[in-house]
Amino acid sequence: MTGICATTPHDAEISGGPSLLRRPVKDLVVALEKIGAYCTSNQGYPPVHVRGPIKGGSVEISGNATSQYLSSILLAAPLACTPVEVYMVGRLESKPYVQMTLDMQSRFGVNVEASEDLTEFHVRGQTYRPSEVEIEGDWSSAAFLLAGAAIAGDRVRIQRLEKKSLQADRYLLDILKHVKATVSQDSSSVTVEESQIGTAEVDVSDCPDLFPVTCALCASAGGTSTITGIRRLRIKESNRVQAMSDGLKQMGIKTEESENSFVINGGKPRKAIINPYQDHRIAMAFGVLGLCCEEVTILDAECVEKSYPSFWSDLQSLGARVTTA
């Protein structure tokens, strides 16, 4: 929304709840100013004040923070007065999300010239045109039910998960195979059966939202697993590395943390009360892990409404014992 508001000559303020106000936006603010928008923040954090229109020009963006800054610039750039050139500095993480942005722009009539490695972008002035788009099923939400099936299910099939999807979290299939889960797939559905979960070494640099559910999978395995590419996860809805570490500790699972890796010594999770820090993905991850222990209590369980309001009822419909206080 910051990028979109920068295309208009009107003053706008973008703010939000407590977790959003802890999300750094300095790189995006600086980038928008370089291409002609007026943009300020609260010492690098929301609320953000922005006014356009953006004029155009050249800008550099760090690739190791979040792909959302780049997508924001790309969405706004076609409406600039002159062409916009964007250069990535450092490794671009979460590449699939940028590819999704470019794909959706093309469906609405906008062409962005991008280098093959997605480090350089040239956007000329264009106009978005109306289009009709069918939205795919959400791999990010489905990941929790598929992981639950592998940990403690019988056989779960989820439809409308496109085999050729650009969604980053389609990588869950590779993770399930790494942990030796039984998985089958056709063009638009995935089936997972209960499996003897094994250890894994997983890099979530391009799919950071899979970190919590991958932790749940690895915690249920006997042995040591390593998840890398976690550095940015400390600035999500919560500090997801700390949140998973705290919760796993409550469940008797030992972990070790470094700047960019998370080691899990899996085993038999025990009964616990979990604080998800109002983070939907943390709550769902521990809900899944609770399937293979006596009981887990999730505080503020309604936080799942951010992305998956029916998660608890869907889990219950698949046979899990779910009660609400």
Helix/strand/coil for 294: coil
Active site residue 209: yes
Pairing state between β 84-89 and 113-114: unpaired
Rounded to 5, what percent of the chain is helix, strand, coil?
35, 20, 40
d(CA 254, CA 51): 49
Pairing state between β 12-14 and 84-89: unpaired
d(CA 242, CA 265): 16
d(CA 53, CA 132): 27
Answer for the pair 180, 200: CB distance below 8 angstroms, yes or no.
no
Neighbouring residues of 266: CB distance < 8 A, sequence distance ≥ 6: 197, 199, 218, 219, 220, 221, 222, 223, 224, 225, 253
d(CA 94, CA 80): 25
d(CA 24, CA 118): 23
Eight-class DSSP state of 47: E
* Catalytic entry in 117, 203, 209, 314: 209
Looking up tokens 């706004």 gives 76
Answer for the pair 251, 279: CB distance below 8 angstroms, yes or no.
no
Answer for the pair 7, 43: CB distance below 8 angstroms, yes or no.
no
Task: Cite the active site residues.
Answer: 209
